[in-house]
Structure 1
């Protein structure tokens, strides 16, 4: 029963986000009534370019703690090549989903929320994890974050994400994310040189934004399993920064 109620809530949150995107600029907002029952755990998922990673990230069987996955829509199709504007749109939509959860539907701040992003979606999710007000029960998971820190890493000499190597601000901001920048515990995962496909140039030392238009193979996208392996927070500096394998 609790699972059904939680799924009802997260479906309503997604509907409200989608509706808000569709009517943006109209000044009119409508939302479904809050479902009955407790607010269950939810996982807001921001896939990568062309929905990279979405199939597994949105599979409830692979989610942690019985959380219901909810896709955050944003411009990420083959025709959406303004990465800066696309990230900004995703950030706005993820913030809308959180607003709906806590305000529109009145879910308690103790409601377990996972915020998960991959590649371009990791820039979206990471920005919100850096700026969301404190005091909520949030856990972040980032796959292939382009602003990934070179610190608090299990890899000596870790070069960090490609945006930290660009001479100008990239999509999602300028430079590496500062250590201690996340407001909530965040697990950041990146394929290193020993992975099946070699180092992922989005999060490990790349210098070319064209990497965002290519695939990043060999991530499991099994959020529940990754958290079992690396642990949920709290972490020192709110960050667990891991190169895999």
Structure 2
């Protein structure tokens, strides 16, 4: 008698849970989707080694809010491979927070600006970020800068692209159609003050030892460079300029 009464009680509990589950499912499916927020423009800035190029934070285009992406780049952080990986992860987290946690719509204007070591971080994300967002990249002295679509005949491309093993940020020069989003890539050439930047315009530098001491002057004025060279869209998602 006790067994049968216990069985009936258990059956009743199971029926109640089933009804609750059906009610919750119906309520969840009926709930309207949360509307995405219309957010203002933002510029994620990834400086280089020892914070080189941090001046980009003071020159955001079109009133964009500049946000620094932290990653290991101090004098004691000399493992370029893991440093770039950490920067990539932090930049992806910032984009996730923008689109998911802050619920900003995909039309939100996003600028991603990087210099040198930071350009390897930014370039990796610009190559791999899912399509359908409103993103514009700008790279100063990208070590994997490709040689095609350049305004300089015989452009050699970036140093890391010529290293026979995989360098920080990947292996080889970036392919012509590698970027998922419009990207302006800038490099000081032989006519620049101080000569060519051997990181993005491979010259006499033959190893990563020159990575820390070979950059001629850049203005880091993101807004002005985009005004001069134009924002995307570009053919093949790339505008590849040697300056001046």
* TM, length-normalised to structure 1: 0.83
- Name 2:211's counterpart in structure 1: 212
- Name 1:9's counterpart in structure 2: none
Structure 1 segments, 4+ long, off by >2 Å, are none
Question: Would you say 1:167 and 2:200 are equivalent positions?
Answer: no
- Name 1:180's counterpart in structure 2: 177
- Structure 1, unmatched stretches of 5+, are 1-36
Question: Would you say 1:131 and 2:128 are equivalent positions?
Answer: yes
- Structure 2, unmatched stretches of 5+, are 1-36
**Aligned-partner Cα distance in 2 for 1:42–1:169:** 32
**Aligned-partner Cα distance in 1 for 2:38–2:232:** 24
**Aligned-partner Cα distance in 1 for 2:160–2:178:** 16
Contact residue 38 and residue 108 of structure 2 kept, 8 A? no
- Greater Rg, structure 1 or structure 2? 2
**Aligned-partner Cα distance in 1 for 2:73–2:65:** 22
Contact residue 118 and residue 142 of structure 1 kept, 8 A? yes
Question: Would you say 1:74 and 2:71 are equivalent positions?
Answer: yes
**Aligned-partner Cα distance in 2 for 1:101–1:164:** 32
- Name 1:200's counterpart in structure 2: 197
- Name 2:51's counterpart in structure 1: 51
Paired residue secondary structure (1:189): strand
179, 186, 189: which is aligned to 2:186?
A: 189
Contact residue 49 and residue 212 of structure 1 kept, 8 A? no
**Aligned-partner Cα distance in 1 for 2:210–2:90:** 24
1:215 CA displacement? 5.1
Paired residue secondary structure (2:77): coil
